[in-house]
A and B are shown apart, each in its own frame.
Chain A
Amino acid sequence: MAKVPMIKIEIVGLLADAKQIVERLQRRGVVELENITSPDLVKVETAGSVAIFEKNLATAGAALAVLDHYAPPKKPLLASLYGRKTMTTAHFAEEKEKTAGTQEICRRVLELDRAIRDGEQEQSRLALRRDQLAVWKTFPYGASELATGKTVLIPGLLPRAASDAVLSDLLSESAGVPVQVDVIEAVKGQSAIVATVMKEDREAAERALRNMEFTPAPLPKTGSAAEELARLEQARAAVRDDLKDKKKTLKAIAGESRADVVFYQDFLRMRMDKYRALDRVAMSETAVFLRGWVPAKWAKELAAEFEEKHGAFVTLTEAPEEEPPVLLQNDAFAAPLESITEMYALPGKKDPDPSPIMALAYYILFGMMLSDAGYGLMMVLLTVFVLARFPLEQKMKNTMRLFRNCGISTLIWGALFGSWWGDLPQVVAKNFFGKEIGSTALWFEPIKDPIKLLLFCFGVGILHLFLGVGVKGVMLWKEGKKLDALCETIPIYLTILGVAPLGAGIFTPVPPVLSTIGMPVMLTGVVLLVLTAKRSGGFFSRIFGGLYALYNAATGWLGDILSYSRLLALGLATGSIAGVVNMICVMPSNTVLKAILLFGAGTVVHIANLAINLLGAYVHSDRLQFVELFSKFYEGGGRAFSPLKADTKSFRFEKENIYHD
């Protein structure tokens, strides 16, 4: 498999059936609808309905956020491993009945939330009033009760601290009338005072007070501040109780209806998608027309279903001149690589799906970069456990499979290079059993002969690059450009194969046979390359084109091949860092302490080392595919297949999507 072949489907049904037809398409989830425009046909106006769904969706989202705030949902650890729960159509119909009620609940939740916020504001307003009055709690009169027969009381705050006598003198002097001041309380450079003056001196006294930045006391109109304080306290208690009740109600709603709200969101999303799809269909007075792409393998079955259930008229046509949307489907070995392909770009019209092409190479390169059998074993055990134990969504399943396969490769390369958590077996044997066990490598230890491994990495790189060139050749061959296919592959293969032993000879002795054959092979390749690289134009144009191609090949391929030295460097890094961890853990001379460090702290650091090098191996495996391999044949630029489907976040239909395997 690779790119799933697509076919054009056209459905013409009765206008009365339009909604059911779109609903069925959505449940099947295998048709990507195209927009039909034709002067003879009518479009349905759905923007209004979509806007209403959007508004309701926003309400539901806000209500859910409120519920989450007052009753944080319990998310199981590793929630992402559990996937969405399944739902039968019957159950869906039941849930659907509840949605009108859910909408009401959402509105109620938002009302409660607003009331809570108002209540909290009221609370702080009351608290502020209480704080202002607190200092006057011993003052017995209200604001309208300050005048006696001959005198007037002026209570308030002065921004200075001084004694009764000092303030009395000061004010009397500045007002020019007798003022008697009693300080009720003095705090932080402020004094709460009551000034007593004769009725006729009131204005003069008030002017003098104002000049000293006096603030009149915010007393209640009648009755004492103490009484007002008691009333405030009562009001605060009432608001507090009310808030508590409302929050309790919200928690209760969260307990009962959170799931309903989540479902309601999905329900709205589904309906919104349906109406958006309706926007793409066209109608006449009696019929509805739909057109779109469907994977060819499901087309016949789907056509039969629509003919039978809706009496629709369905036509299936190949559309070779159009570029179909891309859906990838691969076997278990290559499917995990689809996400890597998607990250780069989906295959364009001429491109093959690169996932199966790069699968084996990806696993090998990843394994060489991580190259520690212990770490590989941990990856395999963890991913196999997760795969077996959890009901994963397809995407997560593929991710786990990717790392399981990479783990197996890592295990193999690690065993070949004799790296098990670095040199843990050797360290344990030496420190706890007093034995030297030497190397466990099935092949050789890279650190003992890095040049050998470096050359091996270049060799792997050359094969990887040849793979890319070969794919290009096959693509050209299939297009019927057989000469191009040969010219693009043979010369470069010969050149590189010829150069390889000569290049390797710089680092290490090479069997003389190879070097002797190498030179003529390389020269043949170079000559062929120069002669065939440019296959049009005059003689000189061809030769110069050829020389230019040779220059490009030389620099490009040199860079590409050297790029594979990262296999060695990252491989050495993993094992060496692991070795350093072991070394530090067994530094103490006490055996018990060594064991505690090695199997306690050492485990944690090993896991961290694995995490960092896993990330490194992952990104650099990607890079070697994207930059080195894909540049040889791949263009990308495909558009992802996005069928009309039940795009739900909280559940998935059980067995509903009969086509999806």
Chain B
Amino acid sequence: MINLAMSLAILGAALAALLAGMGSAKAVGTVGEAANGLVSQDPGKFSKVLILQLLPGTQGLYGLLVAVLLLSKIGVIGGNPATLTTPQGFSYLLACLPMAIGGFFSAIHQGKVAVAGVGLVAKKPEESGKAVIMAAMVETYAILALLISILLIYNI
């Protein structure tokens, strides 16, 4: 049954997928632009910059994950909708916020580090591993956000 509570929970799922996806799209896009510039000069570095471009894409994936976990928890997926109270629905909405907002910002900042990493690969391709690690540092906060969102969804 779709009531206000259910709508709030669905809003949460939508925000997680939407905001984290937006952040990743923006970040992957900017890294891609920088990567194309480099590849136009030296196509051999394609695989190295591809990994850098991929890194800030994970937030979008985590957002999707949180959305699907919530939708299956409340039975929107699986065809057995749960009966929620309004505070419960609102809590689900709140549970999605760490992933939604944390994902959005961490993706964009990770994208910036990855763009700088493309510059590093351009000058010192043998140090590309370090560029990847630098970008991965930012992702820590997306992972922490993911963890909290999942724990909340499963324990509300």
Contact = CB atoms under 8 A, between A and B. Distances in A.
**Do A and B come together as binding partners?**
yes
8 contacts: A343-B130, A565-B143, A566-B140, A566-B143, A569-B147, A612-B57, A620-B143, A622-B136
Top 6 closest A-B pairs, CB basis? Answer: A619-B136, A569-B147, A343-B129, A569-B143, A580-B68, A566-B143
Nearest to B62: A573
A583 B77 contact: yes
Interface of B is mostly: helix
Interface in B89-117: none
Given A450-B154, A569-B147, A583-B77, A619 B65 contact: no
B4 interface: no
A598 interface: no
Interface string A544-567: 000000000000000000010110
Interface of A is mostly: helix
B133 A623 contact: yes
Contacts of A568: 147
B82 interface: no
A569 B61 CA distance: 13
B151 interface: yes
B137 interface: yes
Interface in A432-475: 447, 450-451, 454
B133 A622 contact: yes
Contacts of A563: 140
A569 B146 contact: yes
A577 interface: yes
Given A343-B129, A612-B58, 10 more contacts: A343-B130, A451-B151, A565-B143, A566-B144, A569-B144, A569-B146, A569-B147, A576-B68, A619-B133, A627-B137
A416 B139 CA distance: 27
A572 B150 contact: yes
Interface in B124-156: 129-130, 132-133, 136-137, 139-140, 143-144, 146-147, 150-151, 154
Interface in A319-350: 343
Contact of A626 (B57, B68, B133): B133
Contacts of B154: 447, 450
B63 to A, nearest CB: 11
A164 B154 CA distance: 90
Contacts of B137: 623, 627
Contacts of A619: 55, 132-133, 136, 139
Interface of A: 343, 447, 450-451, 454, 563, 565-566, 568-570, 572-573, 576-577, 580, 583, 612, 615-616, 619-620, 622-623, 626-627
Interface residues of B, number: 29
B72 interface: yes
A146 to B, nearest CB: 53
B143 A615 contact: no
Contacts of A615: 51, 54-55
A612 B61 contact: yes
A615 B57 CA distance: 12
Contacts of B62: 573
A573 B54 contact: no
Interface string B47-63: 00001001101100110
Nearest to A622: B133
A565 B136 contact: no
Contacts of A620: 136, 139, 143
B68 A343 contact: no
Nearest to A339: B129
Given A565-B147, A583-B72, A576 B65 contact: yes
A580 B151 CA distance: 18
B62 to A, nearest CB: 6
